[in-house]
Amino acid sequence: MNGTASLLSGALSERTGAVRLDDVVLRTGTRRILDDLVREFRGQGQLRACGIRRRSKLIFHGPPGCGKTLTALALANSLALPLYVVRFDAVVGSYLGQTATHLRQLFQFAESACCVLLFDEIDALGKRRGSPSDVGELDRIVIALMQELELSQIPGFVVATSNLPGSLDDALWRRFDLALRFSAPTKVEVTRFTRTKAKSFNVPLTKMLLANTSRLQSYADIEKAVEDAARRAALRDL
């Protein structure tokens, strides 16, 4: 295996799962934009003929457990593209310039293979430059990432996610074609999602379950609470 192949095999892991955009609770506006992106991808020939650029570099931001990673997978499925998640530990090298080289190789891969390349929780790489805890290497990583985002022409998509958009460098932020905000569920959405999950886990929608989930602030936590209830119900007679 040559250097690039071994980097790619260590730094990318394919994520699969039969999730569709319809399975993700999304605000109407967010869903509309995602549908637009799918349409742009399918109609890219027409766009090109009109001299219009397709949007391909996306950042999803918002609190944890609200569907950013899930949406990246659902989007890839809608596009019938494989989703590759970047493993940061394998990208960040200990030698000077190594990380930039690795990033270049990752983007070269994304230029040659039509896929969705996911930089999940990019805060790990894209911390604000010049912050007190900063080290020189971090600066270089962010600069290299910005250059790749700016210069690469990718046939698929690059998606980054961030739980802490405030910690991302403004200049990095600007390199994305589109920033999509994911929100925590409202009270109404909490109740609705509890009901949906109770149905799918086959547990009764009790007052207690609704009370338990009412104070939760993410879809992931609600799902966990309903699953806990289902687990308890399944073992009730033991």
Ligand X SMILES: Nc1ncnc2c1ncn2[C@@H]1O[C@H](COP(=O)(O)OP(=O)(O)O)[C@@H](O)[C@H]1O
The residues binding Mg ion (CB under 5 A) are 68-69
Distance CA 70, CA 60 (A): 11
Class of residue 75 by CB neighbours under 10 A (exposed 0-12, middle 13-18, buried 19+): buried
Q: Is 233 left (phi over 0), alpha (psi -120 to 50) or beta?
A: alpha
Strand partners, 86: 12
- The yes or no reply on residue 226 touching ligand X (CB under 6 A) is no
The least CB distance from residue 122 to Mg ion, in Å, is 11
- The yes or no reply on residue 61 touching ligand X (CB under 6 A) is no
Distance CA 73, CA 118 (A): 9
Backbone angles phi, psi at 171, to 5 degrees: -65, -35
The least CB distance from residue 116 to ligand X, in Å, is 14
Residue of 92, 178, 220, 225 interacting with ligand X (CB under 6 A): 220
Site of tokens 């506006």: 29
Q: Choose from ligand X, Mg ion, none: what does 65 bind? Cβ within 5-8 Å by kind.
A: ligand X
The least CB distance from residue 161 to ligand X, in Å, is 6
Taking only Cα atoms into account, the Rg of the chain, rounded to an integer number of angstroms, comes to: 20
- The yes or no reply on residue 156 touching ligand X (CB under 6 A) is no
The least CB distance from residue 235 to ligand X, in Å, is 22
Residues in region 10-49 near ligand X by CB under 6 A: 24-25
The least CB distance from residue 5 to ligand X, in Å, is 29
For the chain, the farthest-separated pair of C-alpha atoms sits apart, in whole angstroms, at 67
Name every residue whose Cβ is closer than 8 Å to that of residue 80 and which is 6 or more positions away in sequence: none
Q: What is the DSSP string of 44-80?
A: HHHHHHTT-PPP-EEEEESSTTSSHHHHHHHHHHHHT
- The yes or no reply on residue 219 touching ligand X (CB under 6 A) is yes
- The yes or no reply on residue 69 touching ligand X (CB under 6 A) is yes
The least CB distance from residue 63 to ligand X, in Å, is 7
- The yes or no reply on residue 67 touching ligand X (CB under 6 A) is yes
61 or 68, CB closer to Mg ion?
68
128 or 197, CB closer to ligand X?
197
Query: Which residue's Cβ lies closest to ligand X?
Result: 67
Q: Choose from Mg ion, ligand X, none: what does 67 bind? Cβ within 5-8 Å by kind.
A: ligand X
Query: Which residue's Cβ lies closest to Mg ion?
Result: 69
Class of residue 165 by CB neighbours under 10 A (exposed 0-12, middle 13-18, buried 19+): middle
Residues that bind ligand X in the complex, under the rule CB under 6 A: 24-25, 64-70, 161, 182, 219-220, 223
